Amino acid sequence: MGKQIAGGSFGPPAGHIVWDWNGTLFHDIDAVIHATNAAFAELGLAPITLERYRALYCVPIPKFYQRLMGRLPTETEWNVMDEVFHRHYTHHSAACRLAEGVEPLLAGWQDAGRSQSILSMYGHEELVPLVRQFGIAERFVRVEGRVGPSGGSKAEHMVRHLAALERSSGVAASQVVVIGDAADDAVAALAAGARAVLYTGGSHGRASLEGVGAPVVDSLAEAVRVASAG
């Protein structure tokens, strides 16, 4: 079982899961590495391995680039890298699929009478048709992607997402568990009054996640078990 929050139990069983998309439900880490290295090549930076990416990745994204470059990128450099990243990501992600076992996990949670939603920092206009394409849209009461510039934290978006859930479905933040692959998912959950379970199959390795204070698991099935058990 994943590491529990220091000093006590995880809390009551979740009534609602907010799923992250990229690196969590959508297994796109190979596309991310391809796109990141294409962006790095624009500035003459050496390519990065998956292991190094998972060790250094953080948000906001310019701080991740700072860890690799030794300085923050200039505004011009950031704009170039961001455009190149998204262009190459779009190309490579076309071959990516849902993470292993996602469909029965989503169906089982819904069939048990509990609700779930998606909040992603992937662009909203791209996210919604992709979720529909995989045939899972009906599993969620709300699907939200990023509106506005890329590269920032999910926290303010999570606060708005949970406020909208409470208005529309009566779901209180204390009933919510966020499942994601990044330390920022736990930061966002905390900002919104929810809890988080972090998954090692995406952007972060276990060592990068274990200092956050949320349970860390190696499969989405285990993440759902932690959320269910409290």
| Spatial distance between the Cα atoms of 218 and 174, rounded to a whole number of angstroms | 24
Q: Is pLDDT above 60 for 197?
A: yes
- Please tell me the predicted confidence (pLDDT) of residue 10: 80
Q: Is pLDDT above 60 for 3?
A: no
| Spatial distance between the Cα atoms of 189 and 170, rounded to a whole number of angstroms | 18
Q: Could you read off the pLDDT of 61-98 as tens digits, one per residue?
A: 889 989 988 999 999 999 999 999 999 999 999 999 99
- Please tell me the predicted confidence (pLDDT) of residue 158: 97
Q: With both helix axes pointing from N to C terminus, report the angle between 75-93 and 29-42 in degrees, rounded to the nearest 10.
A: 140
pTM for the model stands at: 0.91
- Please tell me the predicted confidence (pLDDT) of residue 230: 66
Per cent of the chain over pLDDT 90 is 83
Element (H, E) at 38: helix 29-42
Q: What does residue 197 show for φ and ψ, rounded to 5 degrees?
A: -125, 130
Q: Could you read off the pLDDT of 123-167 as tens digits, one per residue?
A: 999 999 999 999 999 999 999 999 888 767 899 999 999 999 999
Q: Which residue has the tokens 């919510």?
A: 176
Q: What is the DSSP letter of 22?
A: B
| Spatial distance between the Cα atoms of 222 and 205, rounded to a whole number of angstroms | 16
